[in-house]
Amino acid sequence: MASITIRNLDDELKQALRLAAAEHGHSMEEEVRVILRRSLASAKKGGLGSRVQARFRDVGGADLDLPARREAPRAADFD
């Protein structure tokens, strides 16, 4: 297992972390692991297209005129 050291935590954040860990009945280290797991699990939602769309959402879109379909859709022919 890997380990990390987090430096320069302000006192208020450390106190909040300590209190949250005590409320949940585990150590501060375990509280941090839970927070990281939860945060990263929610960050993974959506595929590549959803993430690209979210990143550029505020830039604006493009209004494209799509040509009318002239033929009915058909299955691919692999012969």
Angle at 38 between CA 32 and CA 40, to 5 degrees: 100
Give the pLDDT band of residue 14 (cuts 50, 70, 90).
very high
Mean pLDDT to the nearest integer, 1-28: 94
pLDDT of residue 44: 66
Q: Could you tell me the residue ranges of all domains in the chain?
A: 9-44
What digits encode the pLDDT tens for the residues 30-73? Answer: 999 999 998 888 766 678 888 788 888 888 777 788 889 898 88
CA distance 31 to 21: 5
pTM beyond 0.85, yes or no: no
pLDDT of residue 59: 84
* Residue 21 contacts residue 30 (beta carbons within 8 Å): yes
